[in-house]
Structure 1
């Protein structure tokens, strides 16, 4: 049975700042869920009020959001994007409304529900909402739309988005390359594993970068570390085929561990938490995605080497602020290592990354920024 759309009231959510990779000196203030939002069930969207003591620059502006499946408390993709909405509302004194999606069949109706709520800005979260977001933006030209993890280009690379629609994209292949190199350096078995939620570009971009990082380590060190779960040439690998089932994520990860993997890199939203559980149960390491896992999934911090982070909160907040301030444009945003839109989180408290390896990761990061190393992904 499919669940109805769940509407979450906005609470105060800690911003997940993008940090340069390095040792985690003090985890005391960072552990714990990054969301303390209350939620209620409803068949229709509800307003989520209202700012704290922030300067009310835009009290009549209404910023809204529609989630992908998994909801705003997924400790990953949706949650970080939602942080950007909360931060904008808190900082600028806006009104807000939001809808959580539990199934792709709800996307169109959920976007329309935000239109009906009188929203001035609507942010949709996820590659799978691209078609419905575009259709709504073309129909409602007085509303500014942003979409996380998608941009609209033709075959020649020209931006085709209407003037009121902005794509927010992130080159996560770059920090995933660093994570892959790190994994290859830390594995004891010589085998590491990755799996995704769905075989879509916004998932496989992580996996592409991860494999290239492992390959680069092998080339430099004359090793033969293997990656299970993703074949870049065949564009095929291990997938849970959803983003919700932690049981599926755990099962896939356990299969990889059975085949020898001692480091697991899940790219599957909440389903990926099952992968971290499998790693924890079997004495393996995990690498988290989208957020700093030691903040958003603190119960697994002790087995995390690091996390590949996307500054979705910052990009979402800026898109909303631009819409409220009259400076909104359809120019796509791309988060990179160079502009800080993507990054590695500080290393986990038990990762035991020595100074030489840490310096090497920093050097590789700079080579990617300089263009000396090119991380390739479709």
Structure 2
């Protein structure tokens, strides 16, 4: 994700969308992969993965990606190699480390690894690469900069719309009528969650003649509250507190481990505020916050990585860009778990209907941060 300005980040994502539109979305994830009838892995197949600086235990996108490669490797009977990044300065050395271990597939987890991944892929055309949350289009010509890189992207705005709608419904029922969000870094893969969340609240207001207020993000100006990173630190806690101080009773932290800071800020407030998870089903991934997690807006990174590894294992990697959507089950909402019985009457049926409308194209849910 090493792009110097937000404006350039958005441009990279939009430009990458050109090739995605031409190539079409990747195939829907399937649970049938890994059956005994699958083509066996090539004898020299060695899948490898490098994390972003959130680490493998972020209960979010890094961990989800690792779960996907581990599952595929186990089914294939091969050993996956993983290296963890502590900072941006680790990206290039970590990729070189994997190349030195003769990896045949290297998966980079995150936008921030884009430049180093492109450089390595260009220099090593016989190695397969994939990158999550980036189009690998540094020169902005509408296609990946190297033919041996597979972009793995997610149109998360669709699922986030449903999450925002649910948050607004919950807050309206409580009588608070205030919700908010904040992010880690202002990059497309973070901002797209915030876009969908706010648009979902607006959709609820329109459908119900309500006036649920939003804090932390403005879709039109693309400006809002960010911590400057993905670490669960005091900066993240204070950023969360700033949103909570507006009186919200649902908050969406977007950026891996920063949810921990939001949970700590909620605890300190002494209020019944709930939060929402991103990427993984947070109530399951971290049971310590299940009691304050209303629902999670999921990107099924694990399944996309799993499918990519299985494809590469045959020696004939499919480099067609993958876009996770509601239609192919690449994004979606988790269960509401213990809050299911406390939801406003008819909400789950309404969310199902909205999902169908989005898939059918009857309800347009879009973001400037979408991989179009």
Q: Which TM bucket (shorter chain)? A: 0.7 to 0.9
Corresponding residue of 1:363 = 353
Report the alpha carbon displacement of residue 302 of structure 1 after superposing the two structures with TM.
1.5
Corresponding residue of 2:240 = 253
Corresponding residue of 1:98 = 82
Question: Contact 2:233/2:261 (CA < 8 Å) preserved in 1?
Answer: yes
Corresponding residue of 1:208 = 195
SS of the residue 2:346 aligns to: helix
Report the alpha carbon displacement of residue 59 of structure 1 after superposing the two structures with TM.
5.6
Structure 1 unaligned segments of length 5 or more: list them: 1-17, 19-54
- Aligned pairs (5 A) from 1:248-327: 248-281=235-268, 282-327=271-316
Report the alpha carbon displacement of residue 350 of structure 1 after superposing the two structures with TM.
2.8
Question: Contact 1:263/1:279 (CA < 8 Å) preserved in 2?
Answer: no
Give the TM-score taking structure 2 as reference length: 0.83
Distance, in Å, in 1 between the alignment partners of 2:141 and 2:193 is 22
Structure 2 unaligned segments of length 5 or more: list them: 1-28, 30-38
Report the alpha carbon displacement of residue 163 of structure 1 after superposing the two structures with TM.
2.2
Report the alpha carbon displacement of residue 173 of structure 1 after superposing the two structures with TM.
0.6
Report the alpha carbon displacement of residue 57 of structure 1 after superposing the two structures with TM.
4.4
Higher relative contact order (CA 8 A, sep 6+): 2
Q: Does 1:231 align with 2:218?
A: yes
- Quickly say closer, same or farther: Cα 1:157–1:347, change in 2 above 3 A: farther
Report the alpha carbon displacement of residue 220 of structure 1 after superposing the two structures with TM.
1.3
- Aligned pairs (5 A) from 1:62-211: 62-153=46-137, 158-187=142-171, 188=174, 189-211=176-198
Give the TM-score taking structure 1 as reference length: 0.82
- Aligned pairs (5 A) from 1:17-32: none
SS of the residue 1:349 aligns to: helix
SS of the residue 2:364 aligns to: coil
Corresponding residue of 1:243 = 230
Q: Which moved more, 1:206-215 or 1:342-351?
A: 342-351
Distance, in Å, in 1 between the alignment partners of 2:140 and 2:146 is 17
- Number of aligned positions between the proteins: 326
Q: Does 1:374 align with 2:364?
A: yes
* Pairwise CA RMSD: 2.0
Report the alpha carbon displacement of residue 74 of structure 1 after superposing the two structures with TM.
0.6
